[in-house]
Structures are given as structure tokens and as C-alpha cells.
Structure 1
């Protein structure tokens, strides 16, 4: 996708071979700041401190993290240590474990002297695969947007998103936004309502940023406005991403997604989850088994933004002595999900349909 009119991705190898570049997403939308990751510690910090975020991008960054580790030392013990260090960074996004398992299986069967170059080749392949996967999600989701346009008699399709499941959460295209970008390219008129997504405001800072860069019509709304807009008939469909999906179709996504799904169900608005097959955790029978990350309370009690002079500052919102809880995710039951959009097609959110997807992958 585009940043300042130039095609961009969220992660790319340094042409000089010094490491891997990422976009520091904690500084967006006010500062576009590439950061060079040089070693395993840098990659782990980038994931843990949310310089990169979004399940697919976390997985690819972890793959590059293993490749950076193999530049330091290629012995079996260090390979396994690198995997464990990266695995400990974020507990909820299943793509992290998926990517690490793939790298470990690939590198574990080859001589140590080949691992340095082979690890980078595999990480690059996983990045390219992610782009292709998300573009395919876009094609399948485009059909849903076209159907909504027909129902609207050709009027612009109004889509609600939550958090950021855009290209900034992947290598390119995004998951929930890929159908939007495909629709834009196909000449389908649409308008996106962007949830701010407290407490880290990924909707306000990231989704709004990338939609603006791509010239997609959009409006930022506070988190609690979505249900009202649905009641007023101003939303035609909801598309969100996911960090982990259980075998029965329960979908874990950024905190607040469950409330949007409840409102959509009550208002008769289709609610779709867009995610690659790698986001499914078929070892979990239902969503209540998904580990939910509890993040620092300061994310709730403080907020960052640009001051009038352009300086990015952090300010306290709550009384200093007020404690806060900060669960990062919630689980939307499969009964509230109209369908799951994957690179393989759109599937019903039930264990029978998803079992067929699992057997075919």
C-alpha cells in the first residue's frame, strides 16, 4: 500500500545486509520512522513493545527475528533459545507460534553452517506468502462488498472496522482492509467507519492513517458509537481481523470486538472476521481456552498524541492513584459471526466447516 504516495511494506530486509527494517507503529500517524532491527533482542523488543503489531506481521517479524539470531550464532542451542525468547513476547497471537514452529522445523533439519543464509531466505518467503495470502483474502471479501452494494442499489457501501487489521498489521494489503482496498480498485464506492479502539487507539492512529494515505473515504468514531450507527441503519457490514480463531469459529480480536458483534447481531448487520488460515488454532476446541493478554495499566491511564507544536507527548487521563485493568483482547462467539474470510474462501463459523478447512490446508 501507499505512504506519501510511495508503495510500502511494513517490514523489509536492509539492502546493505545490516538487519531488517520495520516501521515503528508506536509513532504513527505523527512520525513515519523506519527502525533497523540488528539482532534477536531488537526483534523481540519490537514485538513485545508493539513497534509491530497485528497477528500476521508479528509472525513474519518473528521469522526475521530467527534469521537475525542465526547471524549471531547458528548452533542448535541458540536456535531453540531464539525461538523461546520470541515466543515469550506476545501470548495471544497464534501466528507467532506458527511462524516460529515453521522456522524451527525448516532450520532444524539442516547443517548449522547453512542456517544463516537459509533462515533469511525462509523469512523472505514467509513475508511474500503473507502478501499473497492477504491479497487473496481481499478478493474473497470483495464479493461480500459487491453483494452489499447490490443490496444498497448501487449506493456506497458503509463498512465498520475495529482496531487495525490493515496492511500495517500484515506485510501488505491487510486482512479486514484487503477487501476494502480491492473494492476501491474495482471502482466500488464505499465509506469506512473507523473505531478509535481504546486504549492504544490503533483505529485512530493506524487504520485512519493508512486509509487516508490510500484515499479511502472514512470517518473516525469513538468506540461506543458503532452500535448507535448500526441502530440508525448507517452500517451495511462489519469486517474485523483476528489474533486467534478456535476450531469452533470463536474469534479472538482486540478488546471491544465482542460488543460490536453483539450490536451487529441485534441490528441485523453482517459481521465478518477476515484472517489467514495461519490464525486458526485447531488445537483449541473453543474460544474460552484462548489466553488473553493483560497489558500494562498505563496504556489505560495515559494517552499519547501530538501537541499544538507537533511534539508527540504523553499525558495522564485518570487520577494518579486510580488502578486500571487492561485486557488486550476479547472473544466473539461463533454464533455472532456471519462468516470467516480466508485466503481459501469464506467459511461458516462452525466446527464442521472449519474442520473441512483444516483438512484441506
Structure 2
């Protein structure tokens, strides 16, 4: 059985208008609004304010962002152009500290710039466009490969629990953790998905539930603190999550609450899978303790979704955007190159040697 699945494109280049067309994820699910980003400040704001989110999509937006900014450069020589590129890169890199794809994409664009030194400025601009296009195209291929590998671990009709959003709107296509759900839908697997709401920004409620529902996939929204009872009732046969950075020892940083889900899965004997593009694996980061965790504003907890404040005005808040799931809680890390199982330190390194 093959079923058509709706795939939403969240980031695309509008080269004719020197802009990025971006699905504003902060407006979902109530409004499907696309933005036109034309300046480095526009792109920085979109990344920082989570208008674009998901590690791969952030990387794609950054690559296209630095292209459209430098495309407008009036520099007459390579050195002046390179200086403008560096200023834009430094600005974009300051938007979010945890997602390694942001820095990976910017570094890759810089490497391409260095490779084409000696070409005309117009040729350099074209080379940067082609590199950004390639980053997006490769991410589509990566997501599909992750989905194919993950699907080999899942049975038809299985209950799948997700946390946050690692879907098509967080990537170029299919997503990472949601890729096997889309591919499974095309093949008639009929998965039953339980989507954690993902407090405090509700990516599971606003984004995962929305895009899976749009695609016709069976999805049930639950509050984060309902995961335990759903697992205990036998409704979940696997957990699939994405990640923003994987350390050399297999520790994985993902949206806040992920480590708690992993602990629950361990208790109930449910496999916990991290879907990780190679670009999120950072062998220079030895363990999860070395990953910088972004802290977000208190308003996201106290006032963001409410007509009136839902906490005392003066109460202190602690709002980390991510937590780190210890490698001992992870059943397997699924990459585009295959399924990695412990020992992660040895086997992740092996991926880069093959």
C-alpha cells in the first residue's frame, strides 16, 4: 500500500528577490504564514526567535542567509568580500549556541569561499549559492536515509512516542525523528503516534501534532507528564527523538524534557532512539557535560501562552532550552550512514573513518 503524504517546505531561497522564504513556526498551528528575510538581522531574528527551528533547518537558513547577505556586497576584491562575509557569519553564529548545525553550515560556507579564492566576485557569489543549495539537497537525502534505517527497527501498527519537533518543518524534507513515520505512512505501516506537548514552547503540540495531522498520520497529543502512564499502558513500543548535538561518547543534547523521556523508557523497557544526522555529531565535544545549554527568557514560562500571568510576578525562573540524555539511556543512534549502537565512543568515531 502506497499513500501520498503531504510534505511542507519550511525554508526556500527566493533568489530573484534576494530573500529567504520562511515558514514562521511561531505562528503555527493557527496561522500558516511565510516571511521574506532579506538582511542579516532578519535571519538572526528568525533563528533566535524560533521562527525557524530544528537543527537542520537552522543550518539551511544560515547558509542561505549568509548567501543573500553577501550577494548584495559591493566589494571590489576578495579581501573586502571576505571581511563582509566574516561579519555576517559572526552575527549569525551568535543567534543560538547549542545547535551544532548552525556552526557547521556557516563553516562549510566559509570553506567554500576559501576554495574559490581567485575567482571573480560574481563567480564567488554563484559558488556560495550552489553550496547553500547543496546543503539543503543533502539534508533531504540525509533525512530519507535516516528514515529508511529507522524503519527497520519498527513494526507496523507500533505506538511511537515523540518529543519536540524533528519533522519536515525542522529540516529540508521528512525530518529526522519523524522521517520513519512519513516513510512508514507511504508504505502502510499505520503507526500510532503519541506527541509530547513539549513545554514551555509547545513544539510537540503546535508543530509535531500539526504536521502529522496535515499528513494524515494517526497522532495523539499528550502533556509531557502523561508519558509515563501512556508507556505503562503498553501504548508505546519505541521512542524517537531528534537532537541538536551528539558528543563523542554518545551523550545527546535535545529539547528540554528529552532526558526525562529516556529515563522513563529505560524503566519500562522501551527502546529509545536518537535520530542524528552526521552534521550533529561533534567529536570535538567529548561528553554532554561540555555542551553549552542555552537559557531562554522567563516570559516563555510565565506569560507567553496566557492572557494573564500564570506565575507570581517576582518568582525566579530557570528556563534551559535543552537537556542532555546520557548515552547509557540511548538504545541506538540512527544516522544516514546506518544504525550506531554502543560502544558509542568507538562506533561514532568509526562513522567518520569509513
Fold shared, TM-score > 0.5 on shorter chain: yes
Q: Residues 355, 15 of structure 1: CA spacing in aligned structure 2 closer, same or farther, 3 A cutoff?
A: closer
Cα deviation code 1:138-188 (max 9, x no counterpart): 111111113xx4xxxxxx210000000111111110000001111111111
1:143 to 146, 152, 159: 152
1:98-113 aligned at under 5 Å gives the runs: 98-110=104-116, 111=119, 113=121
Matched, 1:296 2:297: yes
How far 1:242 sits from its partner (Å)?
A: 0.2
Determine the structure 2 residue equivalent to 1:319.
312
Determine the structure 2 residue equivalent to 1:335.
328
Determine the structure 1 residue equivalent to 2:37.
37
Question: Aligned to 2:324, what secondary structure does the other structure show?
Answer: strand
Q: Residues 112, 320 of structure 1: CA spacing in aligned structure 2 closer, same or farther, 3 A cutoff?
A: farther
Determine the structure 1 residue equivalent to 2:57.
57
1:128-167 aligned at under 5 Å gives the runs: 128-146=137-155, 149=156, 156-167=157-168
1:1-361 aligned at under 5 Å gives the runs: 7-14=7-14, 16-73=16-73, 75-110=81-116, 111=119, 113=121, 114-146=123-155, 149=156, 156-304=157-305, 315-349=308-342, 350-360=344-354
Alpha-carbon separation, structure 1, partners of 2:126 and 2:41: 19
CA contact (8 A) 1:167 1:177 kept: yes
Question: Aligned to 1:303, what secondary structure does the other structure show?
Answer: coil
Determine the structure 1 residue equivalent to 2:78.
none
Cα deviation code 1:6-32 (max 9, x no counterpart): 653111112633311010000001000
CA contact (8 A) 1:242 1:251 kept: yes
Alpha-carbon separation, structure 2, partners of 1:100 and 1:197: 29
Decide which moves more: 216-225 or 103-112.
103-112
Alpha-carbon separation, structure 2, partners of 1:139 and 1:30: 32
CA contact (8 A) 1:254 1:330 kept: yes
Alpha-carbon separation, structure 1, partners of 2:271 and 2:101: 26
Q: Which runs of 5+ in 1 are unaligned?
A: 150-155, 305-312
Q: Residues 60, 248 of structure 1: CA spacing in aligned structure 2 closer, same or farther, 3 A cutoff?
A: same
- How many residues align? The count is 340
Alpha-carbon separation, structure 2, partners of 1:15 and 1:291: 34
Question: Aligned to 2:217, what secondary structure does the other structure show?
Answer: coil
CA contact (8 A) 1:145 1:183 kept: no
How far 1:358 sits from its partner (Å)?
A: 2.1
Question: Aligned to 2:312, what secondary structure does the other structure show?
Answer: coil
Q: Which runs of 5+ in 2 are unaligned?
A: 76-80
Q: Residues 42, 112 of structure 1: CA spacing in aligned structure 2 closer, same or farther, 3 A cutoff?
A: farther
CA contact (8 A) 2:89 2:106 kept: yes
Q: Residues 315, 191 of structure 1: CA spacing in aligned structure 2 closer, same or farther, 3 A cutoff?
A: farther
